[in-house]
Amino acid sequence: MRIATLLKDRCQPKKCSLECIKYCPKVRTGVETITIGEKGKPVISEELCVGCGICVHKCPFEAIKIIGLPEELEKDLVHQYGRNAFRLYRLPVPKKGIVTGILGPNGIGKTTALRLLSGEEVPNLGNYENPPSKSEVLDHFSGSELHDYLEKLYAGDIKVSFKPQYVDKIPTNYKGRTRDLLSRVAERMSINEIAEKLDLMETLDRDLGSLSGGELQRIAIAAALLKDADIYFFDEPSSYLDISQRLKVARIIQSLGQGKHVVVIEHDLAILDFLADNVYLVYGSEGAYGVFAQPRQVRMAINVYLQGYLAEENIRFRERRIEFEIRPPKETWQTATLLEFGPLEYQYSSFRLKVDRGSIKVGETVGVVGPNAIGKTTFVKMLAGILKPTKGTIDRNVRVSYKPQYITPDFDGTVRELFHSFVKDFFESGFFKSEIAEPLGITHLYEKQVSTLAGGELQRVAIALCLSREADIYLLDEPSAYLDSNQRMEAAKTLRRVMEKQGKSALVVDHDIYFLDMVSDSIMVFSGIPGNEGIGRGPFDMRTGMNLFLKDVGVTFRRDNETNRPRINKLDSRLDREQKEKGEYYYSS
């Protein structure tokens, strides 16, 4: 079975003179395999296409994908958006009493699956021109678990609660105070009760338009939890949240699974491992197709995901497995100091940050952990020279490259023009292509306007630009934000590899434990009262620093025997109690 996909946001016929048509061998022989369709863009006949790949390689914008799939998948087609458009194969089956996780890249059909399972859309089974009725869909799935679920859903016997992915749109769709929004859906518990659970008391009487991303995320989660539903869908609930908030939300979602159907899409692998019982892996090609594999117990699913190979389907969806290393402290850093700082203070009108004296060594990558609104970004801005400390000094005899937390796409031009404007020579080097551009997956973005990039695309471009500048230390504030789990792991490996090959130093602020574990040699810990007072300490070696941080959070980690990845211990489990008694919160070996 062969499928053709045209990524319409990449196709630019006015710029490429439709090279895909000029070079198609069947067009040259008089058979119209490729014709001009909607808005002057090509349409590929999948029946006539021989899969030679010429149009794919000739297209300068990587807008065409010709993909060969096993014939047996054809019977599993669940939904297709149009001719040469994205298609989804198979669906997960929610189970009562457990939390079902979904893990896979962006643009591969995870959110589409939730819309189909929530009843927001009806599966068209590939017939996008004449979609089947609900009864026809039920006939198609007759005899399966999915049939029983959809039958109850379409009959109105299942009530749905849905936490959407894009919480930043809440102020656009709803006007007024937080309390007003939550009062519309309050059924299972009082507004004050859910506000206490999610630390939202201070936001109840504030206007939705004045809230941060983390506050909007917790409000969206609160709204979903307030509904008295049979099934709860959570689309990326940890975005914008710090580690402590992620764990708190994970515990609440986990408690729901005791008597309800719960389905969660999550990119933070540590959190997914903690809250889910079973996980569906999704593989495929971004914007082209997605396939749901069979469900696995959560530990096995994440290990298979890191390995990148589905044995039962003989599918390799990643070229190289992702590995975690336990790195001991490097004693040589004691004699090679790159930058010294502190003690420092910075005073806002209602917030004060204090940072203890510290230093960063040549070749050292320092991770930074702590709650939101505790001063981490303020500290990075002081190192970058954007803010001047109220008290104290920083040795700025170093060149700095800075990627901010919030990226504003204010460049008027394409991604290629952006790199040409700032790092033209390095952009054209083989090192950039092999070590930065290809691992981060930005090569297909070169002809796109910077102003049109999505959040994850913009983040990867910003990381690449930061790593491309000539500097002694690279400062990256929340580089994993907006990235899916695969992109996070690739970004972490890229950052680590570039620092090691160039002998440079970095300071990385993030909330993803897996990301920090992969990139960091040492760690800084920020604590205090969010929004009021922050205290920064370190850098410490990883074991000392993470023990300090996780003791405040109240969780312990262990290493997975097979992959070495960090895993959160269940609260009050034997390992959790033993590690807390020893003071080993991060891992005991």
What's the rounded mean pLDDT across residues 255-269?
A: 89
**Domain end position, chosen among 297, 318, 345:** 297
Instruction: Count Cβ atoms within 10 A of the Cβ of residue 476 and give its class: 0-12 exposed, 13-18 middle, 19 or more buried.
Output: buried
**What is residue 334's predicted lDDT score, i.e. its pLDDT?**
60
Residues 565 and 440 both lie in one domain: no
What's the rounded mean pLDDT across residues 576-589?
A: 84
* 306 falls within a domain: no
**What is residue 341's predicted lDDT score, i.e. its pLDDT?**
93
* 320 falls within a domain: no
Give the phi and the psi of residue 158 in degrees, each rounded to 5: -120, 120
Residues 111 and 61 both lie in one domain: no
Instruction: Count Cβ atoms within 10 A of the Cβ of residue 133 and give its class: 0-12 exposed, 13-18 middle, 19 or more buried.
Output: exposed
- Range name among 345-349, 410-414, 568-572, 584-588 with the lowest pLDDT average: 584-588
**What is residue 60's predicted lDDT score, i.e. its pLDDT?**
77
Are β-strands 278-285 and 289-292 bridged in parallel, bridged antiparallel, or unpaired?
antiparallel
- The CATH number that applies at residue 144 is 3.40.50.300
Average pLDDT of every residue of the chain: 89
Whether residue 62 has pLDDT greater than 80:
no
Residues 131 and 63 both lie in one domain: no
Whether residue 513 has pLDDT greater than 60:
yes
Residues 272 and 412 both lie in one domain: no
Give residue-wise pLDDT tens across range 213-245.
889 999 999 999 999 999 999 999 998 899 889
- The CATH number that applies at residue 15 is 3.30.70.20
* 315 falls within a domain: no
The token pair at 148 is: 């029983």
Reported as a pLDDT band with limits 50, 70 and 90, residue 54 is: confident
* 571 falls within a domain: yes
Residues 531 and 583 both lie in one domain: no
Domain count, the chain: 4
**What is residue 153's predicted lDDT score, i.e. its pLDDT?**
95
Q: What secondary structure does DSSP assign to 112-174, as a single string?
A: HHHHHHHTSS---TT--SSPPPHHHHHHHTTTSHHHHHHHHHHTT-S-EEEE-S-GGGHHHH-
Angle CA 431–366–460, to nearest 5: 45
Whether residue 330 has pLDDT greater than 60:
no
* 275 falls within a domain: yes
**What is residue 331's predicted lDDT score, i.e. its pLDDT?**
55
Instruction: Look up the pTM and report it.
Output: 0.85
Residues 456 and 559 both lie in one domain: no
Strand partners for 339: 360
* 311 falls within a domain: no
Share of the chain above pLDDT 70, in %: 97
Residues 214 and 269 both lie in one domain: yes
Q: Which domain, by its residues, includes 424?
A: 331-540
Residues 114 and 53 both lie in one domain: no
Whether residue 46 has pLDDT greater than 90:
no
The Cα-based distances of 557 to 32, 549, 567, 574 in angstroms read 59, 12, 5, 12
What's the rounded mean pLDDT across residues 436-447?
A: 92
Residues 504 and 575 both lie in one domain: no
**What is residue 328's predicted lDDT score, i.e. its pLDDT?**
56
Whether residue 477 has pLDDT greater than 90:
yes
**Domain end position, chosen among 297, 312, 344:** 297
CA 131 to chain centroid, in Å, comes to 32
Whether residue 361 has pLDDT greater than 70:
yes
Give residue-wise pLDDT tens across range 166-222.
888 888 888 889 999 999 999 988 999 999 999 999 899 999 988 888 899 999 999
Reported as a pLDDT band with limits 50, 70 and 90, residue 401 is: very high
Whether residue 589 has pLDDT greater than 90:
no
Give residue-wise pLDDT tens across range 23-32.
787 777 777 7
Residues 39 and 127 both lie in one domain: no
**Domain end position, chosen among 42, 68, 94:** 68
* 307 falls within a domain: no
* 22 falls within a domain: yes
Residues 289 and 273 both lie in one domain: yes
Whether residue 332 has pLDDT greater than 60:
no
Residues 136 and 250 both lie in one domain: yes
Whether residue 2 has pLDDT greater than 80:
no
**What is residue 213's predicted lDDT score, i.e. its pLDDT?**
84
Whether residue 71 has pLDDT greater than 80:
no
Whether residue 574 has pLDDT greater than 60:
yes
